Structures are given as structure tokens and as C-alpha cells.
Structure 1
Amino acid sequence: EYMKPDAPDVNAAVVSWIREGGTLIYVGDGSDPFHKIDAWWGQRGYANPAEHLFELAGLGRDLKEGVHEVGAGKIVVWKELPARICLSKELADQYRSLVQKTLADTGITWTYRNDLTLHRGPYVISSVMAESVSDEKKVFTGVYADLMTNDYAIIHEKDVAPDDVTLLFDFSKIEGEDFRIVGTSARVEEGETTENGVTLRLKTADKIKAFTRVRLPKQPTDIEAIDEDGEAVAVESSWDEETKTLLVSYQSVSKEVCVTGKWA
């Protein structure tokens, strides 16, 4: 109940997701004082936004604690003040048990582990926690760019130890893409490929060594850089054939720099 939707449309989208097979666990007993703020639910005659959500689901405004079927999905209600869960081991155990049972009912097995790992498109974000269920490392194998290195190094294995984090770019997720900024310490004002080559317009902070790694259809040659005043900029470049990425770097003086390369 601490998560207040900004508009009734949010509830409508959630209910649509539930009807299509989603499961919502709702925790709240209606006692959150912020239900009384001047907001859309009060203006529409609801005591809190959950009443509106439940009514949209066809269940009435006041649901009993338990499981309620909604289309192909369900709403699971636990009438408990959320803040109390973090103050009581007993309530925390009850909360975990509720989630575990709900997952089991939908065919998902609950497994304790010492890492929190998210996959978002080509990005892999992982944190391995200390003082957890084990001291095991989280190991990633494949073809990645390590986005926590200044040159977005190409690696094939990454070990994440307890109390450590990583941010990786997974090249297996962009197969078929011919142009993609993989990592950059610059603001990319423009990036494009043409039949003649590639152009990158970059702007960075002053007095840093700027790195940009970009996916290209093939290796370019004659890499050059010119700043916004038309002066040549010393630029370093290297090509990685496995990932088809070009890494360019230069010493920034807080000016826009145009990097170009020609197809061989």
C-alpha cells in the first residue's frame, strides 16, 4: 500500500496484466496515513487506491485476506502494515512464506542464492551479497564488454565475488545489429554509418581520457578526429574482430570532437 499509482490508468494496466495471467501480491491493511492526501482516489470517493484496483478487477472494494481469482491470474491479499515486516523476524518469515507459496502455485520454484542478477536486453547487472547463504562467486561466461572498466574491455569470463558488483554488455543479445554504442564516457551527439564509413560526434568533460566502444558492420580504417574548432585531435583506436567493435580514445579538452573512419 506504500506504492501509490500516479493515475487510475496505472491500476487499469495492472488489472489487465493480472487478467492475462499475472499474479499480484498486495500487502496492506489500509492504515497508511498517506491514503488521506489530496489525490485522485479520494477525489473519486475511494479510501485508498487499492479499493479502485480491486473494483476494476471485479472483486468489490474491500477484499478479504487470501487468494482471489481474476481472469487467468489472481490477486493475493495480506492485510498487514508493510512497515511492520522489516521490524519483526516472524513477520518477515511470514512474508517470505507467502511469496514462496504464491510462486509454487504458479509453477515457479523458490531458490535461495547469494546474488541479485538482472537481465535487461544486452545488459547484465549483478551483485553478490556478503553474509548470505554462501560465499560462492557468481560466474558469467560468454562474450561481454565489462562496462565497469574505462575501455569497456572485451572479456569471456567474469567472476563476481561476495560484496562485489558488475555491469556487463552481452553481445549474444545483439546478433544481427550493425551499429550500437556499447559503452562511452562521452555524450554521443551523433553516431551513424554510411556507405563510406562511420561518424561519431562526441562531447566529454574536460581533462579526461574519453573512451567509446561502438559496434560496426566491418572494420574502418583511417580513423581521424577533429575538434569543434577544426583542430586535429590525437586519437587512438583498436578493432576487435570477435565482437566487431571499434574502441576509440582521446584526451578531452571539453570540446566536441568528430571521429570518422572509412571502410577498407
Structure 2
Amino acid sequence: MEFKNNFYLERGPYNIVSVMDESVSNEPYVAEGLFIDLFNPQLPILTKKKVLPGQQAFLFNIGSVVEKQKPQVLASASRVYNEQIKKSSYSFVAKSPIETTNTMRILLPSEPKKLSITNHLKQKLVNYKSEWDETSKTHWLEFENSPDGIVVEIKW
């Protein structure tokens, strides 16, 4: 029988870690790989996550994605509808409550060359943030949500 101070659970691409603070040791749990930190609202990419006693982690393991060349939303603060995948583009509609901010990580085969974000009235959004991460081949987006839908179109 092995005694340890942590619980670790994998379910599909999700890794859940909890480290107890009153246990057999005070050692942190260290996860290594390529992850999205789902407890951080900025959805950062991590190659190493140290979980201290009394803390928990909820990680999306990018390494477990089967179709890495298929464009797909990996994490989002919205529901994704009407996904369309073409040879060099990916588009979808993101819906979520008004007056909330959406952050999302999108897996893409290569860095985007063109990004278009519009509301349901086809008006371009200009107040958004966008960043490419070459290591994970993911694109991070942040914009204000709408229950009527925000159309995201990405071309590479």
C-alpha cells in the first residue's frame, strides 16, 4: 500500500489534482506536459504545474488531443455553435451571457494570418485581445460575450 498526499484523476483530456495539507508529507504535486490551466481565467499554456498542499489544479492536457491538425476550441467561457472547418479556415459562433468576458484557447494547424470577430449584426468587434502560442499551436482570444452570438473567423 502506498501513502501519498494527493489525488490525481485523468478523464479524457482533463487532469484534476488535489494536494492535501494535513497528510503524510508536504510535498507538492508536479505535473509536466503541455497544459491549459482551466482555473486561471486567462487560460495560460503551461509545461509544468506545481500544486502545493491545500491547492487544486484543473488542467486540459493538450498532449492528449487525438486530432492535433483539426482546428477546435479546447477551452472557452462560452458555448460554441456552427463550427465550420475548411482547408485553411475555421469559423464558429460563440454564445454566452451579456456583460461577461469570453476567453478561449483554439487549437489550429498553424498561426492565423487573418482574424475576424463580428457580432450578430455583422459589426466588427475591435475591442478584443489575441495571442498565438507556437509551442501549443493554440490561439488565445478574449472578447465581450453576447447571448446573440459572436462570429469568429480564422484563416491561416
Same fold per superposition (TM over 0.5): yes
Distance 1:184 1:120, change over 3 A: same
Aligned to 2:136: 243
Give the TM-score normalised by the residue count of structure 2: 0.90
Give the TM-score normalised by the residue count of structure 1: 0.55
Contact 2:75/2:104 (8 A) holds in 1 = yes
One-letter code aligned to 1:159: K
Aligned to 1:164: 55
CA displacement 1:7-40 (0-9 Å, x = unmatched): xxxxxxxxxxxxxxxxxxxxxxxxxxxxxxxxxx
Residue segments in structure 2 that go unaligned for 5+ positions in a row: none
1:206 aligns with 2:98: yes
CA displacement 1:92-150 (0-9 Å, x = unmatched): xxxxxxxxxxxxxxxxxx21111110012221101111211111111112221111111
Shift of 1:254: 3.4
1:223 to 100, 108, 115: 115
Aligned to 2:75: 183
1:131 aligns with 2:30: no
Contact 1:223/1:237 (8 A) holds in 2 = no
State the identity %. 27
Contact 1:190/1:200 (8 A) holds in 2 = yes
Residue segments in structure 1 that go unaligned for 5+ positions in a row: 1-109
CA distance in 2, matches of 1:239, 1:200: 18
1:177 partner SS: coil
Contact 1:198/1:220 (8 A) holds in 2 = no
Shift of 1:253: 4.0
CA displacement 1:213-234 (0-9 Å, x = unmatched): 1111112222111111222212
1:206 partner SS: coil
1:232 to 124, 144, 148: 124
Shift of 1:192: 3.2
CA distance in 1, matches of 2:34, 2:72: 16
User: Which structure dedicates a bigger proportion of its chain to helix?
Assistant: 1
1:116 to 7, 14, 24: 7
CA distance in 1, matches of 2:64, 2:53: 26
CA distance in 2, matches of 1:260, 1:222: 8
One-letter code aligned to 1:201: V
One-letter code aligned to 2:147: S
Size of the aligned set, in residue pairs, is 154
CA displacement 1:147-194 (0-9 Å, x = unmatched): 111121001111111111101111221254223322100111132320
One-letter code aligned to 2:98: D
Structure with greater contact order relative to length (CA < 8 Å, sep ≥ 6): 2
2:104 partner SS: strand
CA distance in 1, matches of 2:110, 2:99: 31
1:207 partner SS: coil
CA distance in 1, matches of 2:123, 2:67: 36
Describe how 1:51-200 pairs up with structure 2 within 5 A.
110-174=1-65, 176-178=67-69, 179-200=71-92
CA distance in 2, matches of 1:190, 1:170: 25
